Amino acid sequence: MIIVMKPSATKEQICDVEKKLTEFGFKTHPIYGEVKTVIGAIGDKRLLNTQAITSMPGVESIVPIMKSYKLASRELKQTPTIVNVGGVEIGGESITIMAGPCAIESEESYMAVAFKVKQAGAKILRGGAFKPRSSPYSFQGLEEKGLKILAAAREATGLKIVTEVLDTRDVDLVSSYTDIIQIGARNMQNYKLLQEAGMTGKPVLLKRGLAATIEEWLMAAEYILSAGNDNVILCERGIRTYETATRNTIDMSAIPVVKELSHLPIIVDPSHAAGTWKYVPALSKGAIATGADGLIIEVHSDPTCALCDGPQSLTPANFAQLMEDLKPIAQAVGRKL
């Protein structure tokens, strides 16, 4: 539920209400607005003596949150969340582009592509060190060696970095290197992993599960938020349908739906949706036009030799062209790129 405080409520009154809610076994989540403060209270409402709260000084009203997810909902927070990754914003006026190869393969090749995507205007570098592969015989990633290369590329380019964690046992390791922790589609409902990633306090990029509804996806985000981490970025990466012409089916409608249901920023991964590099530009343009806050795109210097996801990777030249082509679309929807 939401405790709406009066515009005149003092800091002490807000604190007292939080204390009282804690006594009733609730977790509190204050949101300080320009006019009013509201306190999100998560817990078992049967244990709450509502009267004891409504009668407290400074309290205006109590409003229940009807949705199954609470902290992720627009009901709790009306203003959009802007996730700040060391100065790079996701969810603000600017469209944020993340780019890089699917997997980190070697320092030399990674550095080369990192500088190219930077030159084209990407703000965040992607690269997998722990890869979730369908086959156990496929390249599984360079693991910590890959994380070291990623960190060196951040150092060299000044870009921020995002990389995936697959296992709760690696959360501390991955988090010690990266700026954004990626939870992949296959792990969207790995609740322990979500909680562990949430507890690091680092921004978390949460991909939509292969067959997850938007509600299930927002419930997954709720696990991260309820671990005390407000910095969640949602990522639509295509879902499983009966269609086989593309690797997955991009769900463009998820963008406006998520914007209505949640305050969290949403980006789109056109690469894993398309499965083929040729479709990536069209899907990228569509995503920006539909209101996405950013994109995460796979780029490889030599896609035919890539150890992972080569067929869906853009060359640096195609990526640079796409960045140019996206500018008027961003402008048309009132965004900057």
Give alpha helix (H) positions in the chain.
11-23, 50-54, 107-120, 144-157, 171-177, 191-200, 214-225, 254-261, 270-274, 280-290, 316-332
Give the residue, chosen from 118, 237, 259, 335, that forms a contact with ligand PEP under the rule CB under 6 A: 237
CB of 240 to ligand PEP, least distance (A): 11
Radius of gyration of the chain (CA): 21
Give the residue, chosen from 83, 102, 185, 296, that forms a contact with Mn ion under the rule CB under 5 A: 102
Q: How far apart are CA 202 and CA 327, in angstroms?
A: 29
Helix (H, G, I), strand (E, B) or coil at 2: strand
263 binds, among Mn ion, ligand PEP, none (CB under 5 to 8 A by kind): none
Q: How far apart are CA 68 and CA 170, in angstroms?
A: 30
Task: Return the sign of the alpha-carbon dihedral for residues 311, 312, 316, 321.
Answer: positive
184 binds, among Mn ion, ligand PEP, none (CB under 5 to 8 A by kind): ligand PEP
Binding mask 239-278 toward ligand PEP (x if CB under 6 A, else -) reads ------------------------------x--x------
Give the residue, chosen from 42, 102, 254, 280, that forms a contact with ligand PEP under the rule CB under 6 A: 102
Q: Kindly state the tokens that stand for 254.
A: 């998820």
Q: Which amino acid is at 251?
A: D
58 binds, among ligand PEP, Mn ion, none (CB under 5 to 8 A by kind): none
Q: How far apart are CA 56 and CA 196, in angstroms?
A: 36
Q: How far apart are CA 213 and CA 279, in angstroms?
A: 24
CB of 102 to ligand PEP, least distance (A): 5
Q: Which of residues 111-140 bind ligand PEP (CB under 6 A)?
A: 128, 132
195 exposed, middle or buried (CB, 10 Å; 0-12, 13-18, 19+)?
middle
CB of 309 to Mn ion, least distance (A): 4
Q: How far apart are CA 98 and CA 203, in angstroms?
A: 14
Closest to ligand PEP by CB, 28 vs 190, is 190
Q: Of 166, 157, 164, 161, which Cα lies nearest the Cα of 179?
A: 161
Does 323 participate in binding ligand PEP (rule CB under 6 A)?
A: no
How many CB atoms are located within 10 Å of the residue 134 CB?
A: 7
Give the residue, chosen from 70, 309, 323, 335, that forms a contact with Mn ion under the rule CB under 5 A: 309
237 binds, among Mn ion, ligand PEP, none (CB under 5 to 8 A by kind): ligand PEP
Does 64 participate in binding ligand PEP (rule CB under 6 A)?
A: no
Q: Which of residues 156-185 bind ligand PEP (CB under 6 A)?
A: 184-185
Listed ranges 204-212, 247-255, 303-311, 318-326: which one lies at the site for Mn ion (CB under 5 A): 303-311
Closest to ligand PEP by CB, 237 vs 259, is 237
CB of 23 to ligand PEP, least distance (A): 42
Token match 């060190």: residue? 129
Does 207 participate in binding ligand PEP (rule CB under 6 A)?
A: yes
Q: Kindly state the tokens that stand for 167.
A: 């296992």
Helix (H, G, I), strand (E, B) or coil at 46: helix
Positions that interact with ligand PEP (CB under 6 A): 102, 128, 132, 184-186, 207, 237, 269, 272
Positions that interact with Mn ion (CB under 5 A): 102, 309
